[in-house]
Amino acid sequence: MAGLTTFVIFGASGDLSRRKLIPALFHLYRKGRLPENFALLGVARHPIAEEAYRDSMREAVAEFSKPPEPAAWAGFRERLHYMAADPTQTEGLRSVEARLRELEAEAGDPTQRLYYFAIPPEIYQPILECLAQAGMTREDRGWRRVVIEKPFGRDLASARALNQAVHHVLREDQVYRIDHYLGKETVQNVLVFRFANSIFEPLWNRNYIDHVQITVAESVGVAHRGAFYDSVGVLRDVFQNHLLQLLVLVGMEPPSSFDPEMVRNERAKVLSAVRGMSEAEVGENTVRGQYQGFGGEPGVKPGSQTATYGALRLFIDNWRWQAVPFYLRSGKHMAEKTTEILIQFKSVPHQLFPLTPGREIRPNALFLCIQPDEGMHLRFEMKVPDTEVDLRSVDMDFHYADDFGPGALPDAYERLLLDALEGDASLYTRADAIELAWQIVDPIVRSWETGSPRLEMYAPGSWGPPAAETLLRREGREWALGCGGET
């Protein structure tokens, strides 16, 4: 026997396990991607019989993905185990260690374990300590890795403290800080698009690009996560991680190889070049909004000042990007769900064509469509046939579904979980990058918490507060969406 690889989920009966982790692991299993000798041990506080846990995970796969094929599920089910334990107590973890040893006994060494923290962030530190005290981080019989979910800290100070607690018991290469955006195919494709094609990269800089927009819009409100959301707000929830990671992929320099550390070095460099803001600058360069009715959502404190919408104007201070604004926006309860990146090129230097008054040549625009209609749109100008020189914008587009078929895009977690099992950390965030991201967001959070800029209300189903339009309009620009086919 060649040893056993065990995926241990702390928080095994929670939402994340049901919606994402178990379906992703099941799909990896049915595609034959998991190690041959693989087991999954779910750990949570309340006692449930193992069989009942297996049944409820089958229902979760059916609900959040699709009903599993009976034969594949039968094989997966046998590998699925459950036990009740309190992971914040050393005794609790000793009982987990004992169970793991039972599972591992038959297969022999090496024993390889991935511990997944699908638990509230307040208990990350106690679990880390207890894991070490129970001897579960020692690697004498095989590797031990930990995947830590977001939010990784609430601000720079707490992220630093958490990094210290992590490094007290683990080496950095044992730690996988997850941001599920990096697992999305369309997000990974930004680098391939940039660095596996020769025609765009020469234009990818301040000489040809006027500005960049990144939109992460959600049509839903905070739903059942009101209490959690009220305590974090949009900056901590999605800007510190997802939006900044998208900015990084657009802004980074080509690494000299695809080696995980090379890629992560370049990612960290962009973050370190993002210009910090003073409090006065936060008032000028950000917009803070809340959807009407947020205060009445279950779990939200009445009169809450928490932002559910944010727009930022950022700059990257380096040779490539000097003076090119990056406008980032995200909100709940927006007009539609879409995540897209717009690369807006500069206007032509000279208007050659005698256009009718009021008409202008629109600058080229490239839309990278992250979701839901994954693909790409490139807008350019064409002559309208049978006119002297009337011009019109047209759209050249690519959709994953057309070229690779429907269902070709796996869930982000599949790729990320597999990478962690294989020891590839390229798509995970290193300690320094997490801290750099907080360093960018921290002054904005502080300023917002003192009321600057003022909180603007917006109607659910709109594109956010009018101030967000002004942020761009005062510079002669406007927010644009191109992924639904509109240009």
Q: Which H/E stretch holds residue 447? A: helix 431-449
Residue 237 makes contact with ligand BG6 by CB under 6 A: yes
**Shortest distance, CB of residue 219 to ligand BG6, whole angstroms?**
10
Distance of closest approach, residue 339 Cβ to ligand BG6, in angstroms:
6
Chain positions 298 to 357 lying near ligand BG6, rule: CB under 6 A, are 339
* Residue whose structure tokens are 């109607």: 459
Least spacing, CB of residue 359 vs ligand BG6, in Å: 37
Closer to ligand BG6 by Cβ: residue 316 or 370: 370
Q: Rounded to the nearest 10 degrees, what angle do helices 124-133 and 156-169 cross at?
A: 10
**Spatial CB neighbours of 381, under 8 Å, sequence gap ≥ 6:** 361, 362, 364, 391, 392, 393, 394
Residue 358 beta carbon to ligand BG6: minimum distance, rounded to whole angstroms: 38
Measured in degrees and rounded to the nearest 5, phi and psi for residue 464 equal 100, 180
Tell me the closest approach of the beta carbon of residue 367 to ligand BG6, in angstroms: 17
DSSP conformation letters of 471-482: HHHTTT------
Please state the closest distance from residue 303 (CB atom) to ligand BG6, in A.
Answer: 22
- Nearer residue to ligand BG6 within complex by CB, 339 or 447: 339
Decide: 118 and 14 in contact? Cβ < 8 Å: yes
CB of 184 or CB of 379, closer to ligand BG6 = 184
Tell me the C-alpha distance between 257 and 255, whole Å: 5
Measured from the CB atom, is 337 or 359 closer to ligand BG6?
337
- Residues 328 and 150: their CA atoms lie apart, in Å, by 20
Q: Which of 242, 333, 377, 399 is catalytic?
A: 242
Contact (Cβ atoms closer than 8 angstroms) between residue 177 and residue 241:
no
224 carries an active-site annotation = no
Q: How far apart are the first and last CA of the chain?
A: 58
Residue nearest to ligand BG6 (CB): 237
> Which residues have CB under 8 Å from 280's CB, separation 6+?
none
Coil vs helix vs strand at 147: strand
Give min distance, CB of 237 to ligand BG6, in A: 5
Check: CB of residue 440 under 8 Å from CB of residue 274: yes
Q: Smaller CB distance to ligand BG6: residue 38 or 400?
A: 400
Q: Considering the complex, state which of residue 41 and residue 190 has its C-beta at the smaller distance from ligand BG6.
A: 190
214 scored as a contact of ligand BG6 (CB under 6 A)? no
Give the per-residue contact string, 358-387, with ligand BG6 (x = CB under 6 A; - = no).
------------------------------
Q: Is 230 in the site for ligand BG6 (CB under 6 A)?
A: no
Quick one: DSSP state of residue 19? I
Selected binder of ligand BG6 within 139, 155, 218, 253 (CB under 6 A): 218
- Contact present, 455 and 288 (Cβ < 8 Å): yes
Residue 417 phi, psi dihedral angles, 5° rounding: -65, -40
Our finding on whether 238 is near ligand BG6 (CB under 6 A) is yes
Evaluated on CA atoms 204, 206, 207, 211, the torsion sign reads: positive
Pick between residue 28 and residue 238 the one whose CB is nearest to ligand BG6: 238
- Asked if 443 and 276 count as a contact pair (C-beta separation under 8 A), the reply is yes
Toward ligand BG6, which CB reaches closer, 144 or 288?
Answer: 288
Under the binding rule (CB under 6 A), the answer on residue 97 touching ligand BG6 is no
Q: Which of residues 21-40 bind ligand BG6 (CB under 6 A)?
A: none
Report how far apart, in Å, the C-alpha atoms of 405 and of each of 275, 297, 371, 401, 470 are: 41, 39, 16, 5, 40
CB contact set of 144 (below 8 Å; sequence gap of 6+): 112, 113, 115, 136, 137, 138, 170, 174
User: Least CB distance from residue 328 to ligand BG6, whole Å?
Assistant: 14
CB of 238 to ligand BG6, least distance (A): 6
Amino acid, single-letter form, for residue 104: E
Count of residues that bind ligand BG6 according to CB under 6 A: 4
Q: Which is nearer to ligand BG6, 245 or 339 (CB)?
A: 339
* Cβ neighbours for 319, distance < 8 A, ≥ 6 positions apart: none
> Is 414 in contact with 24 (CB distance < 8 Å)?
yes
* CA nearest to 158, candidates 115, 129, 125, 112: 125
Q: List, by residue number, the catalytic residues.
A: 242
Binding site for ligand BG6 (CB under 6 A): 218, 237-238, 339
